[in-house]
Amino acid sequence: MSSRKQSPAPRRILPIKRADGEPLTRLDIQYDLLSFIFTDDSNVFTDPWRNSQLVAFRDLYIDAILNSPKATKALKDKMLASPQFATSFAMLSLLVNVGRINTTMSFFPEMKTAIRTYHPIPALQKTEGNLQDAPRIKHILKAVLLKDDGGVLPVSPQDLISRLNEGKRPSTSVMNLLFILASHSSAAIQQYFKPTEEFSFQLDFLDLFLRTDVSSASRARAFLWLCWNYLEMHDGMPGVENPFSTSENRVPTFVQLSKEEVFRENVDPVEEKAIAERLIASRSQIVRNNSIKDTQKDSARSFDDQDLPTSITDDRSKLERSDINTTRSRATQAAKERKAAADRLRREKMKERAREQLPDDRSDSEYASENLVDRRVESQMEFGDYHRHVQQSQHVPTSASQQQQTNQRPVVDISTGQTYHHPRYSPYRHHSAADAGYPPNQLQRMHRALPPSMTMLQHAWHMIMTTDPLIDSDEELGDDDARIDYSQRIRILSRIRGKSPTPEQECHNPPSNTSRPSLPITGRAQ
């Protein structure tokens, strides 16, 4: 069995509970009670906003709303222009003040938020004006303070009595008073209102807004009695008489109603029922218009999804999520391509710098002792000059790219000491597969095209000693180029082995159409 003790009485539901769009009737808000409170004309309350002038409760409550720093200018102007609207708004604010209206309710048809419910109040909406919603109204009430509060507000009925004993009138603002009485519902009233023979029930402060079997007039008088008692002078002061006391007793008495009398109070007139229907229809039209606008906005954002195939509509969210990954992949691929291009350009520049940094005062023997890369660069230059010499002997014009090469380097002839300047050409760029095997007549023309100081044997020996066809073959040369170069060398060596070791007679008549100086002598075979 549970150890929790059951409450002797079920907990009362103070806030009004209604479905969305359902109007609040006079019985719901206890309109007759509110009417008695706000129509009482007893000018007995000190108004701190009118230089302590004595006013009725209605004027005191409305002045407090008008002096709230959270009240908007539009609300203040409407309340000052229409006293009937001011009274209706004050009645609704009083229900919010004591907790009868919770903060989930709204009272204007244009309300759009889904966290609140709309409820027309025909008894309080007979004039034009926005009754706003419960959260805003409560915000306005909470902001009402007196000038001499000093930021420290009383929080209990005893604090109010202490302030009255100190001579402070009023003890607090009327809004803060009602918040305190609602929080201390039993302690605020039970010490003054005792059960009697006529009325044997013990009531608390919130019963004034809930007990429909007690007359509205007697409950309103008890409410005003309590407000004056805690704002102006409490009942314990000697010689103090509350203006809302009865002549027979010091406190008002409650009047219990019969069932027939209960049904006579808070009756909704026909005109208010018509107002309720009109407000409900207005609210329905506003909801439909907002729904159409929302639908149009959604259709514009989703490119009219109802006309698209179901598969596209279902996969739209997936595609939108994949757009981010696609963009990232493309950016990564572009970065890789830029890096690869930069690497290729850097390698080409390094090769060009290596060629340009070759010394200009070294002999062929020094070039032959360099590393493999330097010997390859030198052989490319020599072999390119040889091909150009052959082309000139055969009246073959050089290409435009070759004619534009102006960078030259000196080559020293060991035997004569003469220096020749030859353009730098790579033999592989102008090499063709047709040179792989030379016919006899072509070889004879090549032999006759050689300068008088170099024979075919000398040239072959020079090429063998200073070039390597396999260097950088993976980057610049293909397998066909390497095969062509090796085939050429084999044919030359075969011709050499088939003849006498003594070289043939040198040709002292160089071609007449040669316009460039002859190649240097790099060595004579003995």
Is 381 a member of any domain?
Answer: no
pLDDT at 249: 67
pLDDT at 394: 47
Please name the residue that has the structure tokens 């060991």: 414
Distance, CA of 137 to CA of 374 (rounded, Å): 93
Is 213 a member of any domain?
Answer: yes
Total domains, the chain: 1
The two structure tokens encoding residue 422? 């030859």
| CB 499 within 8 Å of CB 397 | no
Share of the chain above pLDDT 70, in %: 64
Whose CA is closest to 95, among 125, 124, 55, 54? 124
pLDDT at 329: 77
Is 246 a member of any domain?
Answer: yes
Largest CA distance in the chain: 161
* Amino acid, res. 8: P
Torsion of Cα atoms, 237 then 240 then 244 then 246, to 10° = 110
Whose CA is closest to 386, among 507, 496, 518? 518
Q: Show contacts of 278-282: CB within 8 Å, 24+ apart.
A: 279/23, 279/109, 279/120, 279/122, 279/125, 280/21, 280/23, 280/120, 282/109
Distance, CA of 48 to CA of 63 (rounded, Å): 9
Q: How confident is the model at residue 9 (pLDDT cuts 50, 70, 90)?
A: very low
Question: Could you read off the pLDDT of 407-431 as tens digits, one per residue?
Answer: 444 544 544 555 555 444 444 444 4
CA distances from 426 to 78, 364, 405, 482 (A): 96, 18, 11, 15
pLDDT of residue 311 exceeding 60, the answer is: no
| CB 95 within 8 Å of CB 134 | no
Give the DSSP H/E element, type plus range, for residue 263. helix 259-264
pTM for the full predicted model: 0.56
> Residue 265, Cα to own-chain centre: how many angstroms?
57
Is 338 a member of any domain?
Answer: no
Distance, CA of 172 to CA of 162 (rounded, Å): 11
Q: How confident is the model at residue 437 (pLDDT cuts 50, 70, 90)?
A: low
pLDDT at 158: 93
Question: Could you read off the pLDDT of 166-207 as tens digits, one per residue?
Answer: 999 999 999 999 999 999 999 889 889 888 877 888 899 999
Q: What is the mean pLDDT of residues 491-503?
A: 67
The two structure tokens encoding residue 34? 């509110």
The two structure tokens encoding residue 371? 């590393």
The two structure tokens encoding residue 287? 């909801």
Distance, CA of 309 to CA of 299 (rounded, Å): 15
Which carries the bigger pLDDT value, residue 91 or residue 518?
91
Q: 421 - beta bridge partners?
A: 410
CA distances from 75 to 39, 63, 81, 113, 489 (A): 22, 13, 10, 21, 107
Distance, CA of 158 to CA of 201 (rounded, Å): 25
Question: Could you read off the pLDDT of 59-117 as tens digits, one per residue?
Answer: 999 999 999 999 999 999 999 999 999 999 999 999 999 999 999 999 988 888 778 89
Determine the straight-line distance between the first and last CA of the chain, rounded to whole angstroms. 126
pLDDT at 415: 46
Is 136 a member of any domain?
Answer: yes
Distance, CA of 205 to CA of 457 (rounded, Å): 129
DSSP 8-state class, residue 209? G
Distance, CA of 172 to CA of 157 (rounded, Å): 11
**Burial (CB count <10 Å: 0-12, 13-18, 19+), residue 128:** exposed
Please give the backbone phi and psi of residue 118, each rounded to the nearest 5 degrees, phi first. Answer: -95, 135
- Rounded to a whole number of angstroms, the CA Rg of the chain reads 56
pLDDT at 460: 80
Is 201 a member of any domain?
Answer: yes
Question: Could you read off the pLDDT of 200-230 as tens digits, one per residue?
Answer: 888 999 999 999 999 999 999 999 999 999 9
Distance, CA of 483 to CA of 470 (rounded, Å): 10
Distance, CA of 289 to CA of 283 (rounded, Å): 10
The 3-class secondary structure across 346-408, one letter per residue, is HHHHHHHHHHHCCCCCCCHHHHHCCCHHHHHHHHHHHHHHHHHHHHHHCCCCCCHHHHCCCCE
Distance, CA of 180 to CA of 157 (rounded, Å): 7
Domain extent for 92: 31-263
Of the given ranges (16-30, 67-81, 145-159, 436-450), which has the lowest mean pLDDT?
436-450
Distance, CA of 409 to CA of 180 (rounded, Å): 106
Distance, CA of 235 to CA of 214 (rounded, Å): 24
| 368-406 core/surface letters (b: 16 or more CB in 10 A; e: else) | eeeeeebbbbbbbbbbbbbbbbbbbbeeeebeeebeeee
Output helix, strand, coil percentages for the chain, rounded to the nearest 5: 50, 5, 45
Is 91 a member of any domain?
Answer: yes
Cite the DSSP H helix spans in 82-184. 83-97, 134-142, 157-165, 174-183
What is the rounded average pLDDT for all residues in the chain? 75
Q: 410 - beta bridge partners?
A: 421
> Residue 84, Cα to own-chain centre: how many angstroms?
48
Whose CA is closest to 20, among 120, 158, 163? 120
Distance, CA of 85 to CA of 74 (rounded, Å): 13
Is 210 a member of any domain?
Answer: yes
Please name the residue that has the structure tokens 């607090």: 172
Please name the residue that has the structure tokens 């690497």: 343
